[in-house]
Each structure stands twice: as structure tokens, then as C-alpha cells.
Amino acid sequence: MALQDYVTTGNKDTRSGFGAGILELGKTNPNVVALCADLAGSLKLDDFIKAFPERYVQVGIAEANMIGIAAGLTIGGKIPFATTFANFATGRVYDQIRQSVAYSKKNVKIAASHAGLTLGEDGATHQILEDIGLMQMLPGMVVINPCDYNQTKAATIAVAEYVGPVYLRFGRPVWPIFMPDEKFVIGKAIVMNEGKDVTIFATGHLVWKSLEAARQLEAEGLSVELINIHTIKPLDEEAILRSVAKTKCAVVAEEHNRIGGLGSSIASLLAHNTPAPLEYVAVNDHFGESATPAQLMTKYGLDTVNVVEAVKKVMGRKG
């Protein structure tokens, strides 16, 4: 596929993709159980709860207990999805995830909504920008950050088939739907456009911004390779190295702190293999604040224009 093949078919929040995915899982997999810490509506669990009330656990505002219960449910063959906002699903319960889930190798799916700045007006207390880093540091943890409704729905279904702990990160805002409705393959990057001048590696909401940027840059005559890195761990190292071997420079775009996220992982990978100029489109080690998602994307440098600028800058650094 190429840039022109990604047609916007509508607008929906990625969390609704999760809601649709877990509803489908409810119908197809009797072992799937959903847990939530008093945010069932925000996590779009209403349809699942209505259809499968016996497989829903309302834990109240007690996230540590939720993670432990999820770990216990796996003993006996259940596939629990522990759900809440990304901040409360990671930072608040890091030790519970570390000991009861990751170290204990439990088949828990942590499904986290409202990640990143695009949570909007609630402000920095809720806008976690460190969750990818926290989760990918845990041995054995799979970290997935899908980019639109379709990919989030497909990822939700895919993680239930995978045996092992998973962190699935998605968001609140209504966002363009542009990915095809296709099976999600954990750990396999998607080359959305082939190019030879520069590679843009993007994850989550920034895939859309990068798609817009790539279209703009191609119109200006550049040849842009755009790769959708929906799985941050395990990283598709082969796809990344193959692309950079061709383009000799790259931009990484993510709605996360520049420390600890996809950018850090790709920088490390390149440094260990084929060093190449790299630029980040990410939050520069900062907390967010209250505003609309669009205003925040602009202020913190996560917009289409920032991807375009980063591409031009990194190409200028090529030898």
C-alpha cells in the first residue's frame, strides 16, 4: 500500500475500538473477563457489561487491587483485561504489575485509555507521557500503541490470543479512521509508504499526523518511507534496520516523553547497529497541562508541522 491508499473512512476514538474489540471477544472467547476501576463508560465497556455481566468485575477506585485480581484470574484460565486510564493503569500500580503480573508471568492484559496529551482538559495529573517507558522496561511485557479505531479493535482481539502480559495503550479523542480493517500481527511493523529519502517511524495518534506530513513532503518532491510501529515491544528491529539502511535517516513520532518511549528504543537499536541521524517528535521531558487536544499538540510540538520540520532537519544532517 502507499499514501493514497489510506482513505479516511470516518472519525472515532481509539477507546471505542477497544470497546468494540472486547465485545467481539466476549462473544468468541468465554474466558475473556473485563475489570474496571470505576471508569466503565470511559473505557467503552457498556456493551460488554450488558452482554456478559457475569464476566465483568467492577473493582471500584482501587487499581492496585484490580491488577492483583487480574493476576489471580489467570490462575484458572481466564484472560482478564484490567482497564482504567493509562496513568492509573501504570504509574499508580507499577509494583503490582511488576510482581504480580510481569515477574509472575501472568496472562493479564492491561488496557489503558486516555493516554498522552490528547486527554485534553483534565490536565497533567491525568496525561501520562511516561507509560510506554515504564511498561517496556518490564521483562516480558508486550507494549502496543495502536493508531486508530480499526487498529485498536484488531489489536484488542490479537492480544487475547497471545499468551503473556500485554500493555495496550489507546486514547480519548475522536481521531480519523484510516487503517484497513485487517488482522493485527503483534510485533510486525506496517510499511504504509515506501520511500528512499527519509523514514518516519510513528506510533499511536502520531501515525495520523505523520501520514499528513508524509503527504505534504511527497507533494514537495521528497520520497518518504512511513512505518507504523504499533508494537513498541517487541520492536520489529528487522523492519526498522532495513528501512534506515535505505533512507539513512529517520524521525520518530510519538505522544510520549522523548525519554523512554519509541524514540529511545529506536535510537538504541540504531546506535547498536547502523548509526544514523535521528530526530524526535515527542514531548521534551515535560508534563502537560489543561487545554484542548489540538492546542496541546501544537504547544508541545506533536503536530503535522513538527513532523515536517523534523524530516527536513534530519535530512540536513545526512552525510
Q: Residue 160 CB, nearest distance to another protein (Å)?
A: 16
Beta carbon nearer to another protein, 75 or 294? 75
Q: How far apart are CA 34 and CA 23, in angstroms?
A: 10
Least distance from C-beta 45 to another protein, angstroms?
Answer: 17
Three-state SS string over 189-230 comes to: CEEEECCCCEEEEECCCHHHHHHHHHHHHHHCCCCEEEEECC
Q: How far is the CB of 209 from another protein (least distance, A)?
A: 39
In the complex, the smallest distance separating the C-beta of residue 72 from another protein, rounded to whole angstroms, is 2
Least distance between another protein and beta carbon 155 (Å): 24
Q: Please report, as ranges, the residues that interact with another protein according to CB under 8 A.
A: 33, 54-55, 57, 59-60, 62, 64-78, 80, 95-96, 98-100, 103-106
Closer Cβ to another protein, 77 or 221, answer by number: 77
User: Which grid cell sits at 12?
Assistant: 472515532
Reduced DSSP (H G I as helix, E B as strand, rest coil) percent helix, strand, coil of the chain, to 5: 40, 20, 35
Contacts of 76 (CB under 8 A, 6+ apart): none
Nearer to another protein (CB atom), residue 99 or residue 273 = 99
* Smaller CB separation from another protein, 73 or 134: 73
CA 283 and chain centroid, separation: 15
Q: Are strands 32-36 and 142-144 parallel, antiparallel or unpaired?
A: unpaired
**What minimum distance in Å lies between the beta carbon of 292 and another protein?**
34
Q: Pick between residue 52 and residue 280 the one whose CB is nearest to another protein.
A: 52
What angle in degrees, to the nearest 10, is found between the helix axes of 304-316 and 206-219?
60
User: What would the grid cell of residue 167 be?
Assistant: 500493555
Task: Pick between residue 55 and residue 256 the one whose CB is nearest to another protein.
Answer: 55
